[in-house]
């Protein structure tokens, strides 16, 4: 993939991902958390399912493929969002975000242990530096409470979902996968809303606008682009860019909610960008070396 196209798609998907925290925070004034998230993914899943049906995109015929899509929906959507919600009962949103976005480090770890992927020490250092940047950006205050466990479980679920997409995604059309994993995840969350809270949603022009933004831009567009990037690139390298998401979340919080950007945000953002550079620079150097060994001297 062209590097400029890759960069644009990364900025698009991570900015949408980060802004969803701010937009969602505004939306909580009109709905209970799990119900808001459930409606978001149910609407997005239904719309996407209709689109792929109208475009006559081939759907899987084997039951095993549908089971895989459901598993991705469980880990990538329902489990991540569910664990984040439960964690917020005992820890702050910032602490939950810090734990959730350790996902890229876990992707590299799980990819090495279970999928025999290899990463250089520079890539490992880059991922760790990015994680440190997230901690600095969001405050670096994580207490050892039950919410801490749930926050870490959200990161584990996200990492598992990422690797499952890499492993099975090539067998499934990106749009079909995007539609039905969100639909399955939304169904699970909808049931969970009635089990874990007293669900409610206040209908106003603003609440509807927020819900549509979350469903269309922060779900359909964001997931489709993210899945496409995971299928086209290395999951550890691609997931390293998730460190941009909380950074964009802070920026949108400043823009929409007048939240102050402190010195730790600037310092943390610098660590994030350096970490991303180290992960990608190492991969680029390896490609150049392999090309030179083959007699290809193009950079």
The answer to whether position 296 is within a domain reads no
* Assigned domain for 265 exists: no
2 pLDDT above the threshold of 50: yes
| Domain-embedded: residue 261 | no
Establish if 59 belongs to a structural domain. yes
CA 6/CA 118 separation, integer angstroms: 22
pLDDT tens readout for residues 112-140: 777 777 777 777 787 788 778 777 766 65
Whether residue 248 is contained in a domain is answered as no
Please report the pLDDT score of residue 47 as a whole number. Answer: 93
Residue 132 lies in a domain: no
Supply the mean pLDDT for the chain. 78
Q: If we measure between CA atoms, which residue out of 226, 268, 284, 285 comes closest to residue 107?
A: 226
| Pair of tokens at residue 178 | 């995007």
| N-to-C CA span, the chain | 15
Choose among 4, 11, 3: nearest CA to 226. 11
- Min mean pLDDT across 105-119, 175-189, 212-226 is at 105-119
Task: Return the bridge partners of 31, or none.
Answer: 201
pLDDT, one tens digit per residue, over 41-77 is: 999 999 999 999 998 898 988 999 999 999 999 998 8
- Per-residue pLDDT tens digits for 249-291: 778 777 887 766 667 667 776 777 777 677 665 544 444 344 4
Asked if 55 and 207 count as a contact pair (C-beta separation under 8 A), the reply is no
User: Domain span at residue 14?
Assistant: 3-126+141-238
The pLDDT score that the predictor gives to residue 290 is: 43
82's CB contacts (< 8 A; 6+ apart) are: 34, 188, 189, 192
Better-scored residue on pLDDT, 269 or 34: 34
Domain count, the chain: 1
Q: Do 95 and 151 touch, CB atoms closer than 8 A?
A: yes
- Map the chain to HEC letters: CCHHHHHHHHHHHHHHHHHHHHHHHHHCCCECHHHHHHHHHHHHHHHHHHHHHHCCCCCCCCHHHHHHHHHHHHHHHHHHHHHHHHHCCCCCHHHHHHHHCCHHHHHHHHHHHHCCCCCCHHHHHHHHHHHHHHHHHHCCCCCCCHHHHHHHHHHHHHHHHHHHHHHHHHHCCHHHHHHHHHHHHHHHHHHHHHHHCCCCECCCHHHHHHHHHHHHHHHHHHHHHHHHHHHHCCHHHHHHHHHHHHHHHHHHHHHHHCCCCCHHHHHHHHHHHHHHHHHHHHHHHHHHHHHHHCCCCCC
> Which of the pair, 270 or 296, is modelled with greater confidence?
270
Express each pLDDT in 235-245 by its tens digit: 666 766 767 77
Phi, psi values for residue 201, rounded to 5°: -150, 120
Name the band, by pLDDT with cuts 50, 70 and 90, for residue 296: very low
Residues 87, 85: Cα–Cα separation, whole Å: 5
Is 57 within the bounds of a domain? Answer: yes
Task: Tell me whether residue 53 is in a domain.
Answer: yes
């Amino acid at each position: 993939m062209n590097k400029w196209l890759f960069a644009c798609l990364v900025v698009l998907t991570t900015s949408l991902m980060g802004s969803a925290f701010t937009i969602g925070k505004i939306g909580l004034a009109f709905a209970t958390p799990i119900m808001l998230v459930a409606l978001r993914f149910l609407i997005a899943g239904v719309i996407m399912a209709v689109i792929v049906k109208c475009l006559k995109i081939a759907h899987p015929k084997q039951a095993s493929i549908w089971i895989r899509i459901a598993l991705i929906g469980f880990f990538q959507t329902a489990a991540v969002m569910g664990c984040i919600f439960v964690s917020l009962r005992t820890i702050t949103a910032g602490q939950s975000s810090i734990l959730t976005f350790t996902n890229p480090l876990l992707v590299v770890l799980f990819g090495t242990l279970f999928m025999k992927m290899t990463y250089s020490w520079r890539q490992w250092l880059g991922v760790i530096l990015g994680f440190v940047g997230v901690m600095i950006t969001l405050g670096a205050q994580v207490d050892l409470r039950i919410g801490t466990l749930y926050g870490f479980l959200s990161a584990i679920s996200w990492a598992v979902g990422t690797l499952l997409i890499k492993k099975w995604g090539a067998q499934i059309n990106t749009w079909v996968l995007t539609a039905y994993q969100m639909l399955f995840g939304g169904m699970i969350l909808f049931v969970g809303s009635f089990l874990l809270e007293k669900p409610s949603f206040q209908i106003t022009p603003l609440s509807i606008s927020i819900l549509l933004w979350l469903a269309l831009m922060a779900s359909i567009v964001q997931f489709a682009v993210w899945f496409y990037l995971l299928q086209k690139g290395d999951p550890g390298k691609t997931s390293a860019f998730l460190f941009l998401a909380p950074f964009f979340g802070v920026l949108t919080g400043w823009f929409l909610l007048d939240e102050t950007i402190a010195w730790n945000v600037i310092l943390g953002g610098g660590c994030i960008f350096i970490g991303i550079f180290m992960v990608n620079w190492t991969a680029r150097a390896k490609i150049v070396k392999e090309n030179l060994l083959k007699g290809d001297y193009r950079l």
